[in-house]
Amino acid sequence: MAYMRKFTYLVVFAFLFPMLANAQATYPFGTILKKVYADQGKNAANVIKPAQLALDGIKPDGTWADINYEDKSTTAWLPVTHLIRVTDLVYAYSTAESSFRKNDNVYQAIVNALQVWYNKDPKSTNWWHNEINVPQKLGLLLVLMTAADKQLPDELQNQLIERMKRGDMLSKTGANKTDIAMHYFYRALLTEDKALLAESLTEFFKPVSLVDGEEGLQYDFSYLQHGPQLYIGGYGNVFLGGVIKIANYVAGTPYALSKDKLALLSEFYSNTYLKTFRSRYVDFNIEGRGISRPKNLRKPSEKYNLNAMKAIDATNASIWENERLRVDSAVGYTIVPYHKHFWKGDYTVHVRPEYNFNVRISSKRTKRAEAGNNENLYGKYLSDGATNLQINGPEYYNIMPVWEWDKIPGVTTADHIEDVRMTVNWGEVGTNEFAGGVSDGSYGATAYQLDYDGVRAKKAWFFFDKEIVALGADINSNANEPITTTINQAWLEGNVTTSSGTIKKGEIFKSDLPSASWLQHNNVFYYFPKATKLEVSTQVQTGNWKKINQTHAKEEISGNVFKSWIAHGIKPDTASYQYIILPATKNIKNFDAKTIEIVSNSAQHQAVYHQQLKIFQAVFYSPSTVSSASYEIKTDKACILMLKEGKANEKKLYVADPLYKETTIRLQIKNVKTGKMADVEVQMPKGPYQGSSKEVIITL
């Protein structure tokens, strides 16, 4: 994917690209082409080396000996290297001040290589290469070639433009639609076809709209692709990058992105996608099967998208500049506390200045993380409450080849002797009804009734400023393997200490911790209010990318890993766990355990009260009553709720329906200290907002 270059490219455009002497493009084509050139432009000094390598290896017939043109692989498809090398030659030939500009040998190599590509017409068994990748690459190199002094022969140019007519943008959705529309757009520029330009941009911007459960941008501003499957990264990133790129190209022309669509794009980018970043690194939960690709969690080029947004959405330029500083690890940015449960995507984001902590769950309304094209072969448990905890950003960067895949951070699973390979491609539908979360934008609670692969449990997370409380109850399994709940599995950073001593690098630690014990790693404390059977490993773990993604290398990768888990034993019957994550506490002595009151952790409900914030959060798996020293709450339906102190006797109540079926939920809330009660009938959101949080003001 290409990204927007700095604004300075526009300033020096005249030095990088010639005027369109050979192609006097009419308005708006010339205006748009200049922006495309500026976006793709390279310094003359940077185009020579790759072009020389391509020129040295090309044969007289326009092929390269090291490329297997008969290859039809689905992922690492070899013939596409041919187009990459031709593009290198085109850059060198068309860039002003390049020593290869006007070089007849380079020109002839370009012509020969493009002619042989047209004649051979290589194809992959993966439709994406045939209908998206190849037409896009052809379109871009042809657009760049129009900046050269000597143009391609008309017949060859027309043949290649005709060959680009692959892929039906009308029938596709989401990122696939925008991907195909992009090469339609290139074709419109090359042919100065206004009707095609208008049609391509209409289709390109069509996915910038809200859909209810279909593929694309959801009403909660999550992004789903391949059915109702979370893909804020991956396909969401492709959608986002493509729309930003094209919106920038056509800004200021009659084809500019509308204000309504710009508002949707800005909301998704700022309050969904960018919230998954910690510095340059994104949450592994959002990448789908892309989690199994090297370097995929690091996004060093995001600053170019942000620079483009400053131009496209100029009224919010200060927001985009702040975000650019933040993801580019520069000083001077601010991080505002943020919390949201995406009820369409089964995903929760919790952001604080000191850390990010996000959770992915699943349900019968969504698909679990997928395998496909021989990628993400062991991601079986990625949707069972996977927790992403980032302080600096790279905690999980490139760790996936050495992960123990039944110990994904946050999940409760059977501890298999060997990692279990996925058997279903392209995502299987979740197996449970109960999954959801409540949120007010700053705080919230998320819960998941696990019922998968022979393991059942009630899992919940309660989110505050300095603490996240993780509770598990009613853990059952008839499996022959031990059942564990993983606290974390990340690269080892520094010392690991516990309330009973230090764990050295390369050790395995097992202990029946007494209540009020703690564990510390990478400036994060984990506090255990109850006695806990804890195991920790700081050993070297080894693996390779090929095991988890068949298109990558077999070379062994190794490194010390911090891996901690709670042991529930074989065939547990109503086992439980509770731990408090303290990612904003520098010294455990500063943590007052009385701040967090764990009110309940049972099969019927789980509840927590934060004494300082005066926030009560509860998960009701069935109609029942929960009691604390502050409140007694009774509900007639399963629900997740949060009660916050307001002015005087006023309280703010937030309620969500994790079963996505209720029209009303009745609650009886009693202030234990005053004896005052409130009976509340909450009218729950409907349609695409079913499952979202409803706010009600009550008086106690």
Query: Measured in whole angstroms, how far is the alpha carbon of residue 636 from the centre of its chain?
Result: 36
Task: Compute the distance between CA of residue 633 and CA of residue 625 in angstroms, rounded to an integer.
Answer: 6
Is residue 226 part of the annotated active site? The answer reads: yes
Choosing from 129, 187, 289, 360, which is the catalytic residue?
A: 289
Is residue 289 part of the annotated active site? The answer reads: yes
668 in helix, strand or coil?
Answer: strand
- Identify the pLDDT of residue 75: 87
Task: Compute the distance between CA of residue 320 and CA of residue 278 in angstroms, rounded to an integer.
Answer: 16
- Identify the pLDDT of residue 502: 97
Task: Compute the distance between CA of residue 13 and CA of residue 7 in angstroms, rounded to an integer.
Answer: 10
* pLDDT band with cut points at 50, 70 and 90 for residue 19: very low
Choosing from 129, 226, 280, 339, which is the catalytic residue?
A: 226
How confident is the model over 61-85, as a mean pLDDT? Answer: 96
Is residue 187 part of the annotated active site? The answer reads: no
- Identify the pLDDT of residue 39: 84
- Identify the pLDDT of residue 574: 96
Asked if 493 and 562 count as a contact pair (C-beta separation under 8 A), the reply is: yes
Which residue has better confidence, 102 or 601?
601
- Identify the pLDDT of residue 32: 93
- Identify the pLDDT of residue 24: 55
Choosing from 9, 235, 347, 577, which is the catalytic residue?
A: 235
> Does residue 387 come out as left (phi exceeding 0), alpha (psi in the -120 to 50 range) or beta?
beta
Q: Nearest Cα to 617, choosing from 585, 640, 638?
A: 640
> Does residue 494 come out as left (phi exceeding 0), alpha (psi in the -120 to 50 range) or beta?
left
For the chain, the maximum distance between any two Cα atoms, rounded to a whole number of angstroms, is 91
324 in helix, strand or coil?
Answer: helix
β-pairing verdict for 575-582 and 524-528: antiparallel
Query: Measured in whole angstroms, how far is the alpha carbon of residue 69 from the centre of its chain?
Result: 34
Whose tokens are 């994060």? That residue is 524
Beta-strand ranges (E) seen in 16-150 are none
Task: Compute the distance between CA of residue 626 and CA of residue 471 in angstroms, rounded to an integer.
Answer: 16
594 in helix, strand or coil?
Answer: helix
Please state, for a pLDDT cut of 70, what percent of the chain lies above it.
96
**pTM metric for this prediction:** 0.92
- In angstroms, the Cα distances linking 285 to 230, 298, 445, 459, 634 are 8, 13, 18, 17, 34
Task: Compute the distance between CA of residue 353 and CA of residue 340 in angstroms, rounded to an integer.
Answer: 16
Asked if 326 and 301 count as a contact pair (C-beta separation under 8 A), the reply is: no
Q: How many CB atoms lie within 10 A of CB 133?
A: 18
Residue 259 predicted with pLDDT over 80? yes
Query: Measured in whole angstroms, how far is the alpha carbon of residue 251 from the centre of its chain?
Result: 27
pLDDT in tens, 23-37: 457 889 989 998 998
- Identify the pLDDT of residue 37: 83
pLDDT in tens, 173-186: 999 999 999 999 99
- Identify the pLDDT of residue 22: 42
For all residues of the chain together, what is the average pLDDT?
94
Please state at what angle helix 174-191 crosses helix 194-205, rounded to 10 degrees.
160
Q: Nearest Cα to 251, choosing from 186, 309, 290?
A: 309
Asked if 205 and 255 count as a contact pair (C-beta separation under 8 A), the reply is: no
How confident is the model over 340-346, as a mean pLDDT? Answer: 98
Q: What is the DSSP letter of 398?
A: T
Task: Compute the distance between CA of residue 682 and CA of residue 700 in angstroms, rounded to an integer.
Answer: 16
pLDDT in tens, 310-335: 999 999 999 999 999 999 989 999 99
Asked if 572 and 476 count as a contact pair (C-beta separation under 8 A), the reply is: yes
pLDDT in tens, 191-224: 999 999 999 999 999 999 999 989 999 999 999 9
Task: Compute the distance between CA of residue 121 and CA of residue 132 in angstroms, rounded to an integer.
Answer: 14
Q: Nearest Cα to 417, choosing from 432, 405, 402?
A: 405
- Peptide bond between residue 572 and the one before it cis (omega within 30 degrees of 0): no
Residue 597 predicted with pLDDT over 60? yes
Task: Compute the distance between CA of residue 515 and CA of residue 529 in angstroms, rounded to an integer.
Answer: 5
How confident is the model over 351-374, as a mean pLDDT? Answer: 98
332 in helix, strand or coil?
Answer: coil
